Chains A and B, each alone.
Chain A
Amino acid sequence: MDDALLDKLEILADAAKYDASCASSGAKRRTGGPDGIGSTTGAGICHAYTPDGRCVSLLKILLTNYCLFDCAYCINRRSSNVRRARFSVEEVVRLTLGFYKRNCIEGLFLSSGIIRSPDYTMEQLMLVARTLRRDHGFAGYIHLKTIPEASPWLIEQAGLWADRLSINLELASDRSLKEFAPEKDGTSIKAVMGQVGERILEAKEEKRRFSPAGQSTQMIVGADASTDLSVLETSDTLYRRYGLRRVYYSAFSPIPEASSALPAKPPPLQRENRLYQADWLLRYYGFTVEEIAAGGESGMLDLGIDPKLAWALKNRERFPVDVNRADREMLLRVPGLGARAVDKIVEARRHTSLRLEDVARLSSGLKRARAFLIAADHHPGGLTDRADLRQRLVAPPKQLSLF
């Protein structure tokens, strides 16, 4: 690896870091064998963490950060003065294999600025994946960003080699998209999501290989005026209609070379965190968007407490819940109890009547849960309905320690 390649790596990693997606999960178990290289385990591995708390699982880079589009929120838009660089297909292949052999990564997450045309760009991305798989027997994870404006056949070719395809919606509403990303089109993004979703289902039925780990997307939060409610409604639609595996939320953060069209102040990072919690409630805890939104005010989630606690505090008449009797659906709604803890509770209570100390062994969130739970030796009494319950459950804000 020479100095010029190192410089490019620095520019094109910096340019790619605003994409929150990092998952290397969902691929079928696979190994490269004696002639290839690599394996996928199904669960994915985070090989490092950066001081922003994000995991480093895939080599996340752009093929190039030259771009003909002019999306206001993006550091790589054509009107930005950022330093530019471009990898060749061979260079990306070499970097991926080099880092993979040193056990630094699970695979590659490749995206790109739009150069020449969407088709040309998509073809270059596809060529990287094809070279890795076909010429090097690479069995690690490959996540390709799909260029929604590219021709359908190219996106389908990409799906032959990638484990996951993703198309970033970026903004929850078509109106914001028009305002901030003039070259993008919400309808065509969703059309491609539909197309990819259909192909994934079809390939599964016909036992062909096509983006087996599904598709995901990202929405930027806080760059436009969209409320949490509208963001979650969009996610709900994406999960239901297009069968997406994941929606990532990325709190808009200040970027170098910012556009004047953007808000001066970033939203609190906590907003992103609350959206992820709400997303989980949507997918694994049986909540509806309306229920989650009702926990907050005027379409925004409560930043001070998690959305499940927020919902419980506003629906106290449904509590306390008997840990030895309540059905799984209701236990999932108890603040502090995660899905895994609930499954253990359901299994364990068949053998014994659970006391509070038993629940403590099954869940680490008992502090929050005890006000909402009845156990064999515990009843919260008036605690559930106390006016200051929220204050009692929320720890006073702590100063972040910077070492």
Chain B
Amino acid sequence: MRHVELKDGADLDGFRRALRGLVALGVDPDEVAWSGGAAPSLFGAIAETGTGPLPADAPPVSLPRPVGALIETVVCHRDPERYALLHRLVWRALRGERDILDHHADPLVHRLAMLDKAVRRDLHKMHAFLRFNEVRDPDGAERYLAWFEPDNFIVEATAPFFVERFESLVWTILTPVGSLQWDRRSLTFGPAAARPEGLDRDDRFAEGWQRYYESTFNPARVNPTAMRAEMPRKYWANLPEAAAIPAMIRSAPARVQAMVEAEAAAPRHRNPDKAVAAMARQEPATLAELNRIIRAADPLVPGATQAVLGEGREGAAIAIVGEQPGDQEDVEGRPFVGPAGQLLTRALEEAGIERSAAYLTNAVKHFKFVARGKRRLHQSPTAGEVKHYRWWLMKELGFVRPRLVVTLGATAALALTGRSVSVLRERGPMGFGDWSGVVTVHPSYLLRLPAGEGADQAYRDFVADLRQAREMVEGAG
């Protein structure tokens, strides 16, 4: 019989070292007595006889990943037999049963699964039921302290959760099987501790939590069995809110009785007729109100400096809808002030439309881009984004009441029609529901064309579309 002595608690490193040695020597699990952990092994008295020490530098054992994961949890269990059971599992996994953990009905696998489950539950309950209390440092700095009593050796295993969640705080967790300290930079594992006195003194949030707990309870549904199934009594001592439980349960029947017996009372307050009627009038009543809403809203995709609102007067005969603000528009907060905007201004002039007489806006109100060094490269809005902004655009056009809407490019056409439009093929007059309109290209498309006859022709076509829009308005007027 070989006797392996491990450290108290969850000695994962010690177990790994011992396991490597045992596997290297091919020792049968029946030949090993393990000790360490809370209780001394039954075989603790048996000395190693006729066997030398385990090799210190045995090679790592290659195990199926689920077996490795199971070992990491199960070593945290209090059960003194855990190491022997795990050794047996490894022994079998290395002797032809690599998928041993799929044998759910196997007694050994089932036993280990129960240990694994118990440790996971313990971890989960510690994440759930541990309460921090704020303690004031002499220098007034914010610091938190908790006391918890886990069933198993899980203090180290639980650390990543608390570090991740409370990385920006300074805190200490004390337990009877070890402690943790986090100073916003590094984690220190400490020895077992005793329960500190007067934990929640002077912490008004602790009092607030107790009041909240009592208020969120519905006496008409009292069911202590269900509560105890998930929050057994052993946890109550360290949960400040649990002190109120007996009184809450005792008083519940009387509270319900009182509710049932109370007759429906007539309202003591006058019916707020005016306020109820006013409630329905929440839609923005003017373009200025709408613009206030748009300005205050957040972009769907973070990044834009500001919302770029439409420009021009209400009642303008022609409304021109572009895609979305570009880099320069985003900075200045005005539509069509970049290179494409300048080209648009020139084309409008040639088409006989005064820019200041038209209403200019975009289908999407925020600039979307990817950063490339110092440059911000424009990104087209997605269909979903266009839809999101559509509600505003329609309201906006409703206030402006143009006689005709010109859409520049595919995005604007999508916003007005609700379908994807092939601009080059469908350019020209098109009805947009309440408005008659003209579909044409976006001036930024013209800027991207290589200089030459093709580009000149494209520009002339663009001007022609705008001229047609002007003629349609004049014809209708």
A contact set with B: CB distance below 8 Å: 1, 5-6, 9-11, 13-14, 16-18, 31-39, 41, 45-56, 59-60, 68, 78-81, 95, 98-99, 101-104, 114, 116-120, 130, 137, 151-153, 156-157, 160, 183, 199, 202-203, 205-206, 208, 251, 253-260, 264, 266, 269, 344-345, 347-348, 350-352, 354, 358-359, 361-362, 400-403
Contacts and interface: CB of A to CB of B under 8 A. Distances in A.
A46 to B, nearest CB: 6
Nearest to A12: B215
B43 interface: no
27 contacts: A5-B208, A9-B215, A32-B165, A51-B227, A52-B222, A53-B224, A53-B227, A53-B229, A80-B267, A99-B208, A102-B205, A104-B131, A116-B278, A152-B391, A153-B297, A202-B384, A205-B384, A208-B300, A208-B385, A253-B221, A254-B259, A351-B102, A351-B103, A358-B105, A359-B105, A361-B110, A362-B105
B219 to A, nearest CB: 8
B217 A33 contact: no
Interface in B244-281: 245-246, 248-250, 252-253, 256, 259-260, 262, 264-265, 267-269, 271-272, 275-276, 278-281
Contacts, number: 262
Given A50-B216, A102-B133, A206-B384, A118 B298 contact: no
B225 to A, nearest CB: 7
B208 A33 contact: no
A103 B238 CA distance: 13
Interface string B130-143: 11111000000000
A37 B166 contact: yes
B110 to A, nearest CB: 4
A118 B227 CA distance: 37
A344 B233 CA distance: 32
B169 interface: yes
Given A56-B216, A68-B275, A361 B105 contact: yes
Contacts of A14: 215-216
Nearest to B184: A34
Contacts of A203: 384
Nearest to A98: B205
B245 A32 contact: no
Size range of the interface on B? 35 or more
Interface string B381-410: 011110110011000000000000000000
Given A10-B211, A259-B264, A403 B249 contact: yes
A17 B217 contact: yes
The 4 tightest CB contacts between A and B, nearest first, are A53-B226, A358-B105, A202-B384, A117-B282
Contacts of A157: 297-298
A102 B132 contact: yes
Given A37-B166, A208-B301, A258-B264, A56 B249 contact: no
Contacts of B250: 402-403
A27 to B, nearest CB: 13
Contacts of B220: 253-255, 266
B343 interface: no
B212 A59 contact: yes
Contacts of A104: 131, 209
Nearest to B252: A51
A101 B218 contact: no
Nearest to B173: A103
B224 A258 contact: no
Interface in B153-168: 161, 164-168
A257 B211 contact: no
B369 interface: no
- Most interface-central of A14, A81, A99, A361 (chain B CB within 10 A): A361
B167 A31 contact: yes
A51 B260 contact: no
B205 A49 contact: no
A386 B226 CA distance: 33
A151 B282 contact: yes
A205 B216 CA distance: 38
Given A10-B211, A10-B215, 14 more contacts: A17-B216, A37-B166, A48-B231, A52-B219, A53-B225, A56-B213, A102-B209, A117-B281, A157-B298, A202-B387, A269-B221, A345-B104, A401-B225, A402-B253
